[in-house]
Structures are given as C-alpha cells and as structure tokens.
Amino acid sequence: MEPTTELPETLPPALVERLRRLDRSQPIVDPRTDRAVLAQATEFFHARPRRAAVRMRWALPLGTAAALLLVAVLMRPLLLDAPGADDIDGSGRVDILDVLALARDRAARGDAAGISDARIEELAYRIVALDSSRSLP
Amino acid sequence: VSRAARVIVAAFAALAVAMVVSLSAQPGAGRFATVDLYVASDMPVAAWQVELTETGGAMQIVGIERGDDATFRDPPFYDRVVLERAQTDRIVLASFSLSAADRLPRGRVRIARLHVRTTGTAQPDYEARLVAAGAADGSPIGARLTVETQPER
C-alpha cells in the first residue's frame, strides 16, 4: 500500500484545500520591482541591437567586396592569359590547328558561327609572332 | 723613275687596296639562297606550322613564297617584322587550306620557299621543326619535315 495514494482519503478536505493553497507558488518579488528591473534591462540593452545593426550594415558591402577581390585574384591568370580562349581544338596548346578549326567552323556555319575573318587572321598572326607581346598587323 | 712618280704609284696602290677592303665590307655583300621546306605525309595536309632557325644568326630573309600547292595561302603567315630586320635567327611560318581532302597535297610536297641572304664566311646552318600538321578534319597528323637550300644565281 502506498502512502501517497492513501493520503487524500485520510485527510479532511479542508486540510487538503489549505495545503493546496500553500503549495501554489507565491510571488517572492514585488511586481513593481519586477517592472523596474525590466525597465533597466531594456534601457541597458537598448543600444546593443543598434550596434549590431551598424556592424551588419558594413558587413554586407565589405563581405561582397572581399568575395569579389578573392574571385578576381583567383581568376586573374585565366582572364589575363586566357590560354583556353584560343585553344579552339582543346589540344592544350595554340597552333595552326586552332586557326584551321576556327576557319572550318566559319566555313560550315557562316555568320552564325560568330567568327570573323579578322579573328582568324589575328590568331594566325599571333601564333607566328616572334614576340607575342608586340601588336600584330 | 723619279721620286714623284714612285709616290704617285704608291698612292694609287694604297687607294686600290682601300677600295677592295671597302667593297668586301659593304653591307650589300653576301650570298643569296633559297630555303625550301618540304613536308612528307601519307595523309592529305590541310595545315602546317614550321619554326626555322639559323644557328649562325647571320640570316636575312628577303622574301617568302608559298609552296607548290595552290590551295594554300600565298605567302604563308609569318611575322612581318622579320623582313624588316637586318638579321634574324628564327622565323615561324604557318598556313592552312579549307580545300577538300582529295584536293589537298599528300606525299612529299614543298610547303614554302624562303629567299635569304647570308653574310660572313660561315655556312648557314638551318634547323627546322614541324610544330604542327593537321588533316582536313582538323585532327593532328604525323609528318616529316625536310629543308633544302640552293644558292641563287
């Protein structure tokens, strides 16, 4: 027999009711004190969200600029040297076969290929140039 | 013979020697020759690229012609500055043709002729390298490159 199940049956209802009232949580802090603490806390922390907002306002442009700078640095060799731009046949080097590939593409598709005669000649003269940095005719 | 006559003869002799030395040192002096480039391939050649060097460094290119096949460009592509230089030791030539495979040259064919002028006493030493050769479909092909030189008259 468990004493806990036996207790309500043995105690008088009035006592049980009084014990239940005592068992309820009683406010240990006065509501005015509670409101004062809340007001001070609100005042104290009021500035924090604004500082965070200020940081966030700069964080987005700075992060974007840093990302763009990183991309530019990483892509610089590809953009400046661009070996793949003239490696038409994908052989890994640029030679007369790339010029032939360009010319064949233009001959097959015409203007739809988007390849001009000047582009073909420019690449041809570039591969025979003794000094690649010099401008070509 | 008087002393004055001997002086005159000596002066003429010195003048003659000076003229001979001057003529031999003129920039126009030199030997002209043709340098023919040949490619040999079992497959029809639609494109080629050659690098020619003259190890002596005393070569002046005065003219460039295409080879025997009329379907190729005349002259082939080359760096035009080379012709403006008094001397050069290297040139790159290249050309292509869009003709059908049955019209392209195969076997041994002359792809280019260079007219060169060399100076100095040393014989020119040409070295040629086939950088690339391609078939009509654009695929690379194996080919052999040879150089033949002949003096021009």
pLDDT in tens, B69-91: 888 988 999 998 888 877 788 99
pLDDT of residue A94 exceeding 60, the answer is: yes
Helix axes A117-128, A96-109, angle to 10 degrees: 170
**Chain B CA closest to residue A102:** B138
Residue of A nearest to B89 (CA): A130
What are the Cα distances from residue A7, in Å, to A4, A11, A13, B61, B117? 5, 6, 11, 121, 127
Residue B17 pLDDT > 70, yes or no? yes
pLDDT, average across residues B11-24: 73
Q: Is the per-residue pLDDT at A85 higher than 90?
A: no
- Mean predicted confidence (pLDDT) in A54-70: 84
Please identify which residue in the block is written with the tokens 């002096």.
B29
Predicted pLDDT at B24: 54
Is residue A79 predicted with pLDDT exceeding 70?
no
CB pairs under 8 A between A and B: 65
Mean pLDDT of the B135-151 span: 94
ipTM of the complex: 0.78
Alpha-carbon distances, residue A133 vs A126, A130, B92 (angstroms): 9, 9, 16
* Amino acid in position B98: L
Q: Which helix (H) or strand (E) holds A48?
A: helix A47-81
Q: Average pLDDT for residues A13-21, to the nearest whole number?
A: 86
Percent of chain A with pLDDT over 70: 74
Would you list which residues of chain A are within 8 Å, Cβ to Cβ, of chain B?
A: 89, 91, 95-97, 99-101, 103-104, 107, 124-125, 127-131, 134, 137
Highest mean pLDDT out of A65-79, A116-130, B5-19: A116-130
Confidence of residue B59 (pLDDT cuts 50, 70, 90): confident
Dig out the tokens for A3 from the structure: 């004493």
